[in-house]
Amino acid sequence: MAIKTRITEMLGIRYPIIQGGMQWISRAELAAAVSNAGGLGIITAATHKTKEDLQNEIRKTRELTDRPFGVNISMLPEMTADDMTRVYVETVIEERVPVVETSGRSPEPFVRYLKEAGIKLIHKVPSVRFAKKAEAIGADAVTIVGFECGGHPGMDDVTTLVLVPRAAESLSIPVIAGGGIADARGFVAALALGAEGVVMGTRFVATRECIAHPNFKEWIVKANETDTMLILRSIRNAARVMRNAAAQKALEMENRGASLEELLTVVGGQIGRKALLEGDVDGGTFAIGQAVGLIHEIKPVKEVIEDIVKGAEQIYARLGKMIKEGN
């Protein structure tokens, strides 16, 4: 079964299932596996500190799949001296990557160049007001993430269940739903709410192709939906992460008024990367969504996507029968 929406037609994919751009672990192996299974795989630009590194990752992805894939470019809220955004954009244009997902600040300065290169732009936002802005500047689609999502859910504390229909009724471009989605039930629910695709991050961490250390994958399988927490609200950059020693320490530091510089000694990216790859589940902070409570097995990417598609068919059949019986 193929599932046809404006997202599948726009991106040239079989199923409207997009793998989230997760720093350090959204690498070629994972992205290619998702694309080969009919979804859209994403690699993250911020994982790569030079243009050459990103070029190599893009080319490696192409060696592993002949299907569309994308690059996530997460932009800092403000331009800084070491901001690599312009370099990343130049690289994806030169490499003719078909899809770019942006997040953070507005991608407006780069929209014209991406469009001239024929690249589809998806902008990820945590609120409807930002989604409207993304549409106004020329984004081809918007991903809207709710309070449940791993990573940055914004500061409004509004759930995916509410955000998706609000965005769908407010925009003319396609809406992609993120946050709390890990199986066929969430997938069908998102489509019912008006989304034309879903993005999943946490579910794809617990797959064979993900390079995260097995300790983290086992933690996900054993975790409950209450095993995540929000940190960094004090600097207005709320992040949902796994509930571990590092996150608890960061929250304690925030409660006593720690500065960003102090917080970075616990939540810094390189600290998290080392812990993630070495298997120290308490050694750094790691973005995980509340959907962790729905994940009970480590599977190949292909099985994850097949389970969603087959499960969706069963749900549609069950709902159709309920409606007929009701008549």
CB atoms within 10 A of CB 286: 26
Task: Please list the pLDDT of the chain residue by residue as tens digits (327 residues).
Answer: 789 999 999 999 999 999 999 989 999 999 999 999 999 999 999 999 999 999 999 999 999 999 999 999 998 766 555 689 999 999 999 999 999 999 989 999 999 999 999 999 999 999 999 999 999 999 999 999 999 999 999 999 999 999 999 999 999 999 999 999 999 999 999 999 999 999 999 999 999 999 999 999 999 999 999 999 999 999 999 999 999 999 999 999 999 999 999 999 999 988 999 998 899 999 999 999 999 999 999 999 999 999 999 999 999 999 988 887 666
Rounded Cα–Cα distance for residues 150 and 52 (Å): 29
Domain ranges of the chain: 6-212, 214-278
pTM for this prediction:
0.95
Instruction: Give the model's pLDDT for residue 326.
Output: 60
Instruction: Give the model's pLDDT for residue 324.
Output: 76
How far is residue 207 from each of residues 26, 216, 243, 260, measured CA to CA in Å? Answer: 12, 11, 21, 33
Helix or strand holding residue 69 (H, E): strand 69-75
Rounded Cα–Cα distance for residues 17 and 191 (Å): 11
Beta strand spans in 162-299 (E): 175-178, 198-200, 228-231, 239-242
Rounded Cα–Cα distance for residues 288 and 206 (Å): 11
Contact 144, 197 (CB under 8 A): no
Q: Which residues contact 232 (CB under 8 A, 6 or more apart)?
A: 238, 239, 250, 254, 263, 267
How far is residue 224 from each of residues 40, 46, 202, 248, 292, measured CA to CA in Å? Answer: 27, 29, 13, 17, 6
Instruction: Give the model's pLDDT for residue 327.
Output: 61
Instruction: Give the model's pLDDT for residue 83.
Output: 84
Helix or strand holding residue 17 (H, E): strand 17-19
Residue that the structure tokens 């087959």 belong to: 310
Q: Which residues contact 191 (CB under 8 A, 6 or more apart)?
A: 5, 16, 198
Rounded Cα–Cα distance for residues 110 and 300 (Å): 36
Instruction: Give the model's pLDDT for residue 199.
Output: 98
SS3 letters across 133-196:
HHHHHCCCEEEEECCCCCECCCCCCCCHHHHHHHHHHHCCCCEEEECCCCCHHHHHHHHHCCCC
SS3 letters across 77-108:
CCCCCCCCHHHHHHHHHHCCCCEEEEEECCCH
Residue that the structure tokens 């030169």 belong to: 94
Out of 3.10.20.30, 3.20.20.70, 2.102.10.10, 1.10.3720.10, the CATH code matching 6-212 is 3.20.20.70
Instruction: Give the model's pLDDT for residue 221.
Output: 97
Burial class (CB in 10 A: 0-12, 13-18, 19+), 247: buried
